[in-house]
Amino acid sequence: MATEKEKTANFSEEILEAIKKQGDSLIGITGSPSTTLDIVIDIVEKSKAQRALGQMVYVVVNEDGQDILVIGQIIGIETQNRWHEDPSFKGVIKRHGRLPHLSGTADNRVATISVQACYSLGTETPEGHILGTSPSTGERVQKMNNEVMSALMKKHDGITYMGKVYGTDVDLPFWFKHFDRTDEKNKEIGAGDAYHIGVFGRTGSGKTVSAAYMLLGYAKNKNNISIMVLDPQRQFFADKDLLPPDQKLEDHITKTGMKYEKYEVLKDICLPSDNYELFGDLLANNGFLELALRPLYTPDKVEAARDAVIEYLRGRANVPSFNLNSITDKTALLQELLNRFTTPTGPQETSAGYSSYVISIFGTTQTRTRLQNRLEHIRDHLATETNVVRKWGNALELFTKTRADSTQKMSVEELVKKVVLENGNFIVLDISGTQVGEIQNENLQAVFIKTIEAKIVELGAQLYADGKKANCLIVMDEAHRFISTTSQDPRIKELTQEIIGSVRTTRKYGIGYMFITQTIESLDDEILRQMRIFGFGYGLTSGSELRKVSEFVNNPSAIQLYKSFIDPSSNHKFPFMFFGPVSPLSFTGSPLFIEMYGDVKDFR
């Protein structure tokens, strides 16, 4: 009986033996011209009517006296017939159609393989290899199957299967490594560095399903990583349509051993007590300022009113006991603010006839007087100004430490610590604002994200200074809604610049970002340049979008295969093109084409 050590010492022989057992899986032979990255194959007669596009194939070539297993995917195929190409026969075809004994019979089908991975089988354990010379013609090219794939992956730890090779039944191996060193004790593979990830695709392309599968892959590293999903439309929070068919992501995350938690930012999270700017943004976004200080004719005036409220609260904060978490009577604070805004104090204000807050908002006597009258009216009729009081209270409620049922909320710092300082947590944070219907839009979501993201980066930097890594993944669903350099909204522009700065620096902290978005153009070029892993779903085929994809996948044949993806709504299959260090089969830099599993029970 062979010992375990002997078994593991003969991986190369096992792979060669598995190849020999495949029998007649020949699809073609290597042809000409070929390179070390793209191999031309001539399809054999018996395989000419079989599906070839997307097939994963392999060929064993000899280099420096060693067997080299070359694995690739067929990304292009064409039919050649010299008689049909001969100009002298064009007229015959035009008049008579098919050429007897030549049409079809004389066809040659030529395919192009994009080389994905090579393994040297000259040692007992297969080693990654880069072809040093192009393969000779006439070598047998065979279809990959699960038996050969399993033998090849036997030496790899941490393999995840989330789909099949595009157009085949072969399971395609992926790996989702955590962002620190490999944990030998728990057999969790580490990349040593954080990766930024992009998952792109039109609505209905399956990008959310693909992202959910990827998160399940990362969740296998429960002893080393934590994950936070920032959810602007409640799809992750509601856990709906994430895993097919109608499976709950929560159930599968908990099966990995991770602790699954979800929170609503407007209900469960206590916003920072000293973030008066955030409170001002809330008042601007829920309509309080425009209602209470009307008419504010332009966005600039709303901004000026916001700044006036912030300045007032900062002044109050000079008293140590005052902060936004300590307000017990919300209406009383509003009354005090209105009193101060409508009461000139000190020689300069008394001389002007208005408080400095009113002066900072409007510049003419007429407009200042109108604002003064409006504020005095609200001040004297608070009992009947229910909309004003409600909007003020709703914004301030987000800073209270307790919920309506008197249970304690979680602070932003406590939430971030669960992700940055602890391992094994999977947290979904609903930032949609649907619990308070009047407080919701991309602007406000951007403010929430900026607050959370700033704290994440702060804690990550502290860990890095201590020689440690955060080892966490931050997921931004529907990222195009609040990350855009072309947005006219200053808050979104500000967050975009913050994220650009973060993706440049946080990789060394062990903080990775996953951006899920409908268009690749929606993200800033600097964010795209910092990404290591790309997943492209159906639909990025417009001129500008496709040019963007081509900048990262510099392979015209691969782009043509991507363009051939069928709309998932017609066949309920989700094809994707992945690019980057996401698989043991992708180390040559060629893209991988996959169809995601239609049932999560196949995920492993």
Residues 280 and 239 in one domain: no
8 — pLDDT class (breaks 50, 70, 90): very low
Residues 121 and 185 in one domain: no
The pLDDT assigned to 40 comes to: 95
CATH assignment of the domain containing 183: 3.40.50.300
Residues 265 and 410 in one domain: yes
Query: With 60 as the cut, is the pLDDT of residue 281 above it?
Result: yes
Paired with 190 in beta bridges are: 178
Kindly report the length of the chain.
Answer: 604
Q: What angle is formed at CA 494 by the lines to CA 493 and CA 498, rounded to 5 degrees?
A: 115
Peptide linkage before 245 cis (omega within 30 of 0)? yes
Estimate to the nearest angstrom the gap between the alpha carbon of 92 and the chain centroid. 56
Residues 149 and 195 in one domain: no
Residues 577 and 456 in one domain: yes
278 and 260 in contact (C-beta within 8 Å)? no
The pLDDT assigned to 417 comes to: 95
**Burial zone of 383 (CB within 10 Å; 0-12 exposed, 13-18 middle, 19+ buried):** exposed
The pLDDT assigned to 9 comes to: 47
Q: Is 164 within a domain? A: no
Query: With 50 as the cut, is the pLDDT of residue 18 above it?
Result: yes
The pLDDT assigned to 439 comes to: 54
User: What's the rounded Cα separation, in Å, for the pair 80 and 151?
Assistant: 36
User: What's the rounded Cα separation, in Å, for the pair 112 and 34?
Assistant: 9
Q: Is 220 within a domain? A: yes
Strand residues in 97-158 grouped as ranges (E): 108-120, 127-128, 140-143
Paired with 427 in beta bridges are: 228, 261
Q: Is 481 within a domain? A: yes
Residues 49 and 94 in one domain: yes
Query: With 80 as the cut, is the pLDDT of residue 341 above it?
Result: yes
Residues 336 and 257 in one domain: no
The pLDDT assigned to 381 comes to: 94
Q: Is the dihedral of CA 267, 270, 271, 274 positive or negative?
A: positive
The pLDDT assigned to 157 comes to: 82
Residues 416 and 549 in one domain: yes
- Percent of the chain clearing pLDDT 90 (strictly above): 57
The pLDDT assigned to 533 comes to: 95
User: What's the rounded Cα separation, in Å, for the pair 264 and 563?
Assistant: 39
Query: With 60 as the cut, is the pLDDT of residue 42 above it?
Result: yes
Last residue of a domain, one of 103, 131, 155: 155
Q: What is the pLDDT of residues 282-323, one digit of tens each?
A: 898 888 999 999 888 788 999 999 999 999 999 999 998 999
Q: Looking at residues 216-234, what average pLDDT do you find?
A: 95
Other CB atoms within 10 A of residue 559 CB:
20
User: What's the rounded Cα separation, in Å, for the pair 83 and 89?
Assistant: 7
Query: With 80 as the cut, is the pLDDT of residue 549 above it?
Result: yes
The pLDDT assigned to 443 comes to: 65
471 and 224 in contact (C-beta within 8 Å)? yes
The pLDDT assigned to 110 comes to: 94
Q: What is the pLDDT of residues 417-445, one digit of tens each?
A: 999 999 999 999 998 865 444 555 666 77
The structural domain count of the chain equals 3
- Percent of the chain clearing pLDDT 70 (strictly above): 96
Candidates 181, 237, 243; CA nearest to 206 is: 243
Output the average pLDDT for the chain. 89
User: What's the rounded Cα separation, in Å, for the pair 508 and 522?
Assistant: 25
Residues 294 and 425 in one domain: no
User: What's the rounded Cα separation, in Å, for the pair 454 and 167?
Assistant: 44
357 and 308 in contact (C-beta within 8 Å)? yes
The pLDDT assigned to 155 comes to: 80
User: What's the rounded Cα separation, in Å, for the pair 561 and 209?
Assistant: 21
Q: Is 364 within a domain? A: yes
User: What's the rounded Cα separation, in Å, for the pair 215 and 213?
Assistant: 5
Name which of 94-103, 189-198, 258-267, 407-416 the model is least confident about: 94-103
Q: Is 165 within a domain? A: no
Q: Is 162 within a domain? A: no
Residues 60 and 195 in one domain: no
Residue spans of alpha helices (H) in 21-165: 82-85, 87-96, 146-153
Candidates 221, 226, 225; CA nearest to 186 is: 221
The pLDDT assigned to 3 comes to: 44
Q: Is 362 within a domain? A: yes
HEC per residue, 402-463: ECCCCCECEEHHHHHHHHHCCCCEEEEEECCCCCCCCCCCHHHHHHHHHHHHHHHHHHHHHH
Last residue of a domain, one of 155, 181, 209: 155
118 and 68 in contact (C-beta within 8 Å)? yes
Residues 29 and 146 in one domain: yes
Q: Is 301 within a domain? A: yes
The pLDDT assigned to 2 comes to: 41
Q: Give the three-class secondary structure for 181.
A: coil
Residue 595 phi, psi dihedral angles, 5° rounding: -110, 120
Residue 370 phi, psi dihedral angles, 5° rounding: -60, -45
Candidates 578, 574, 567, 570; CA nearest to 599 is: 574
Question: In sequence order, which residues have a C-beta less than 8 Å from that of residue 199 and are 6 or more positions away?
Answer: 207, 210, 211, 214, 514, 515, 516, 517, 535, 537
Domain that residue 42 falls in? 4-155
Kindly state the helix (H) or strand (E) to which residue 30 belongs, with its residue range.
Answer: strand 26-30
Residue spans of alpha helices (H) in 508-542: 525-530
User: What's the rounded Cα separation, in Å, for the pair 424 and 254?
Assistant: 10
Residues 293 and 358 in one domain: yes
Q: Give the DSSP per-residue string, 326-390.
A: S-S-HHHHHHHHHHHHHS--HHHHHHHTS-HHHHHH--SHHHHHHHHHHHHHHHHTTTT-HHHHH
Last residue of a domain, one of 98, 120, 155: 155
Tell me whether strands 533-536 and 575-579 are parallel, antiparallel or unpaired.
antiparallel
User: What's the rounded Cα separation, in Å, for the pair 416 and 343?
Assistant: 42
Query: With 70 as the cut, is the pLDDT of residue 591 above it?
Result: yes
Q: Looking at residues 245-255, what average pLDDT do you find?
A: 94
